[in-house]
Amino acid sequence: MRRSVLGAAAVAAACLLAACTSGPGITRPAPATAPTVARGVAYVEPAADPVPYGAADTAFGLDVLRAWCQASPDTNLVFSPAVLASALGLAYLGAKGPTATAMAGVLHLPAQSRDAQLAGLAARLAALRAVNGSGVTLAASDFVWADPALPPLKSYLDDVATAYDAGVGQAPFQTNPARAAAEVNQAISRDTRGKIPQLVTPGLVSGMGWVLTSALYMDARWNTPFNPGQTSGGTFTVRPGTTVTVQYMHSSRPLQSNAVNGWTGAWLPYQGGKLGMLAILPPAGAGACAIPSPSGLAALTRAVLVNLGPGAVIGLPKLDISSNARMDGELKALGMAQAFGPSADFTALSPEAANIGFVQQSATLKVDEKGTVGAAAAAVGLTPTDAFAGRELDFNRPYLLLVTDLQTGEPVFLATVANPTQG
C-alpha cells in the first residue's frame, strides 16, 4: 500500500499553475536558473532490487546503439542509456494500455505491478546517486516541463516524484516556444555543468504540451591514472584499408581482461571502486556495428570481473566525442511506434496528452589520462490532443468588449459587436 510522506497529493498539482509559495513538497518560485515550481508527493515504497532495472537499461541501450549504428555507420555515437531510459520512463508513467505495454517492452522493464515498478525505479535512482564519492562526481536530474495551460494530473506528479524525484515546472510551449526552449536549455546546461548548452530548439518544442527531460553529469578519476609520458601516436583502422593516427594512452600495469566468443574486454576502475569502464573489443572482422547481445555482454563482464583472465597492458585511444540526435526513427523501429501514433494513450499524464512528438538526445564523453568526464541529456516532447490544439477562441458571432480599470473596476469602454464590417 502506498503511503504519502509529504501530505496531500493534490497540493502539488494545484500549485503548479497557482505558483504556490509554500506547502508540502512545493518549493518557492525561483529565478530561471532554478525553475522548479512544484514537486509531486513521493510515496514510501518497499525496498526493491535495482539490479533488474540496471539490466533493463543495459538491454535497452544495446538495442538503441545497434539500431542507431546501422543508421549511422562509421560515425562516433555516444549517449547515456540511463538518461534516455529516464526521459522515456517519465513518458511511460503517463501512458496507458497498449502504449504503456509497447513502451515497457522497448525499455525492457520488469513485468511487475505499478507499485513494484515505482519502487524499482526509485531504487535504481538511489543506486545511481550512491556512486558518488571521492574521485567520482555523478549528478542526475529529471524534470517535467508543462505548458501553463496543461497541468499534469496529480497522480502523475506523485508517480514521477516517487520513481525519478522529478521536479515540475512551466514553459510556454504553446505561446512562446523560443522562451520555452531557452528555459529548458538553461536547466539542462546547469545540470550538465555547461557541457550540453542546447538540447532543444524553439522549432522542436513548438506546439508541445509537455517536455520531459533527463540530464546527467559525470566526472570520474581513474583508480590508477595513465602516465601522460607514455601516451604516444599510433594507427587506428577505421575500415579495411583506411587508417588514422590517434593518441594512445598505455596502462603502466596489467588490467583485468578476458575474452568470450571472440569478444575481449578490459576493466578500468575509477576511484572508490563503485564505478568502472569496460572497454570492449569485438571479434576481428566483425565490422563497425558489432554490438553484443545482453547475454553476451553479461558473459564477458563476468569473465573479466569474476573469472579473471591473464590480464593485459592496454593501449586506449584518448577521446573527446559528442552526439546530438533525434531518436524517433530508432525507437519506432524497436517497437515504440505506437507511442508516436494517433492511437497513443498518455492520459495518465493528462486527459489532453496525445502522443510523443519527438525524442532528442545529446551527449559528450572525454577520456584522457586522468579519467572520464561525460554529460548526457534527453528530452521527450508530448503533444496535446486536437481538442486542445483547436481551443483557439474565434469571435465569429456577436460579442461584447469591455475596457476596464483593473484597480477600480470602472468600465472605460463597453461595446457589443454585431457586425465587424459596419462602422
Would residue 261 be called left, alpha or beta, if left means φ above 0 and alpha means ψ between -120 and 50 degrees?
left
Query: What pLDDT is stored for residue 140 in this prediction?
Result: 93
What is residue 23's predicted lDDT score, i.e. its pLDDT? 29
Q: What is the mean pLDDT of residues 162-190?
A: 94
Mean pLDDT of 243-263: 88
Three-state SS for the chain is CCCECCCCCHHHHHHHHHCCCCCCCCCCCCCCCCCCCEECCCECCCCCCCHHHHHHHHHHHHHHHHHHHHHCCCCCCCCCHHHHHHHHHHHHCCCCHHHHHHHHHHHCCCCCCHHHHHHHHHHHHHHHHCCCECCEEEEEEEEEEECCCCCCCHHHHHHHHHHHCCEEEECCCCCCHHHHHHHHHHHHHHHCCCCCCCCCCHHHHCCCCEEEEEEEEEEEEECCCCCHHHCEEEEEEEECCEEEEEEEEECCCCECEEEECCEEEEEEEECCCCCEEEEEECCCCCCCCCCCCHHHHHHHHHHHHHHCCCCECCEEECEEEEEEEECHHHHHHHHHHHHHCCCCCCCCCCCCEEEEEEEEEEEEEEECCCEEEEEEEEEEEEEECHHHHCCCCCCCCCEEEEEECCCCCCEEEEEEECCCCCC
Is the model's pLDDT at 346 over the cut of 90? yes
User: Which of the pair, 156 or 19, is modelled with greater confidence?
Assistant: 156
pLDDT of residue 84 exceeding 70, the answer is yes
Q: Which residue type occupies 75?
A: T
**Between 340 and 11, whose confidence is greater?**
340
If pLDDT is split at 50, 70 and 90, which confidence band does 320 have?
A: confident
CATH architecture of 232-317: Roll (2.30)
Residue type for position 91: A
pLDDT in the model for residue 423: 54
How does residue 14 score in pLDDT terms, banded at 50, 70 and 90? very low
Provide CB contacts within 8 A for 112, sequence distance 6+. 120
Higher pLDDT, 146 or 267: 146
Exposure string of 13-26, with b = 16+ CB inside 10 Å and e = fewer, is bbbbeeebeebebb
Q: Which one has a higher pLDDT value, 283 or 122?
A: 122
Cβ(208)–Cβ(346) under 8 Å? no
Q: Which of 22-31, 56-65, 207-216, 393-402 has the lowest mean pLDDT?
A: 22-31
Q: What confidence score (pLDDT) does residue 98 get?
A: 97
Q: What is the mean pLDDT of the chain?
A: 83
> Across the beta sheet with 276-281, what order do the strands follow?
257-260, 263-269, 276-281
Q: How far apart are CA 205 and CA 212, in angstroms?
A: 11
Q: What is the pLDDT of residues 384-421, one digit of tens each?
A: 987 555 444 555 666 666 665 545 565 555 665 667 66
Contact 125, 203 (CB under 8 A): no
pLDDT of residue 72: 82
What pLDDT sits at residue 45? 62
The most confident of the ranges 32-36, 116-120, 319-323 is 116-120
User: pLDDT category, 123, cuts 50, 70, 90?
Assistant: very high
Q: Which residues pair with 323 in a beta bridge?
A: 363
| Confidence at residue 10, expressed as pLDDT on a 0 to 100 scale | 32
Cell numbers for 335: 517497437
pLDDT tens-digit map of 197-247 = 999 999 999 999 999 999 999 999 999 999 999 998 888 887 788 888 889
With contact defined as beta carbons under 8 Å apart, do 162 and 39 qualify? no
Q: Considering only the top CATH level, what class is 10-221+321-388?
A: alpha beta
Task: Specify the pLDDT at position 394.
Answer: 53
Rounded CA-CA distance 102/335 in Å is 7
Nearest residue to 210 (alpha-carbon basis) of 80, 325, 352: 352
Q: Using 50, 70 and 90 to split pLDDT, how confident is the model at 3? A: very low
Kindly report the pTM of this predicted structure. Answer: 0.85
The per-residue pLDDT for 222 is 92
Looking at residue 396, what is its pLDDT? 63
Residue 233 burial (10 A CB sphere; 0-12, 13-18, 19+): exposed
pLDDT of residue 407: 59
Domain boundaries defined on the chain: 10-221+321-388, 232-317
Segment 63-73 shows an average pLDDT of 87
| pLDDT value of residue 411 | 56
What pLDDT does 12 receive? 34
Q: At 189, is the pLDDT very low, low, confident or very high (cuts 50, 70, 90)?
A: very high
Contacts of 322 (CB under 8 A, 6+ apart): 78, 362, 363, 364, 365
Q: How far apart are CA 373 and CA 339, in angstroms?
A: 33
pLDDT digits (tens, 9 = 90+) for 276-312: 888 888 888 777 788 889 999 899 989 988 887 778 8
